Amino acid sequence: MHIRELFDLTDKVAIVTGGSRGLGKQIAIGLGEAGARVAITARREEWLLPTQQELADMGIECIPVVADISEVEDVKKMVAQALEKWGRIDILVNNAGVVWASPPEEITLDRWDYTMNINARGTFICCQEVGREMKKQKSGNIINISSTVGIDAVDPKSGQFLGYQASKAAIVIMTKQLAVEWAVHNIRVNCVAPSFLATRLTNTLIERTGENMLRWIPMGRIGSEDEVKGAVVFLASEASSYITGQTICIDGGTSAW
């Protein structure tokens, strides 16, 4: 197979949760640029419609789906709309998530539950509901978005995110176990773990602690939100056909320490 064919996603159907802004938007654009038809989700329609139009202007076929991924019925609706439109789901990118920062001794249980419900529970629900359809198809590709802080501890001077870290660590082991269990169904499950990239969610944090963050980054710079989509397209394509259960860190070398 020619190298261009290996990365070609023409006529593939992808769902990107949290696809209206930030990393999710860039991932949706990357998949669309590779030829995929893309459903993007967010909790608010006003976030989705401008992004849908932007993708349409780029020639990318896209539908918006209003959904809270921590709610089973919303995820079922997401799956149903993608199937009604295109008849199958080839790629799922579990990107939707929230960040919550607090010293460990001050974390309230309601904020802990909120973070875990969206990041870990939401990822599981999406994997479960979409995975059922992929098993029927006997094929599929799931890419979960975790974080390097779900793999390694963080210098508290750069931020205190224990609840967020726990939720992202859950995604890493979920990826591994689903990869092992679903390989027999021709479903690959992989994970991308960015560090704190410059996005809407992290800009305030970077402004406050970015100088300390840079101490731990061998490449000497904070990454940008468009530096994830290449890895996602790779994992979604035949270029990674013998890769499953793996986590790719996108962190400027931080995890190499």
Cα 1 to Cα 4, 11, 94, 140, distances in angstroms:
8, 18, 29, 20
DSSP string, 98-167: ----B-GGG--HHHHHHHHIIIIIHHHHHHHHHHHHHHHHT-EEEEEE--GGGTS---GGG--BHHHHHH
- Which residues, listed in sequence order, are joined to residue 39 by a DSSP beta bridge? 15, 63
Q: For residue 108, what are its two tokens?
A: 């309230």
| H/E stretch holding 5 | helix 3-6
Q: Which of 100, 124, 164, 182 is catalytic?
A: 164
Q: For residue 242, indicate whether it is catalytic.
A: no
Our CA angle for 221, 224, 226, nearest 5°, is: 145
Torsion angle of the four alpha carbons 102, 171, 257, 235, in this order, in degrees rounded to the nearest 10: -140
**Cα atoms found within 13 Å of the Cα of residue 29, Cβ hemisphere only:** 18
Radius of gyration of the chain from Cα atoms?
17
Provide the residue type at 172 as one letter: V
**Helix (H, G, I), strand (E, B), or coil: what is residue 50?**
helix
Cα 55 to Cα 22, 28, 44, 64, distances in angstroms:
14, 8, 18, 11
List residues with catalytic annotation: 164
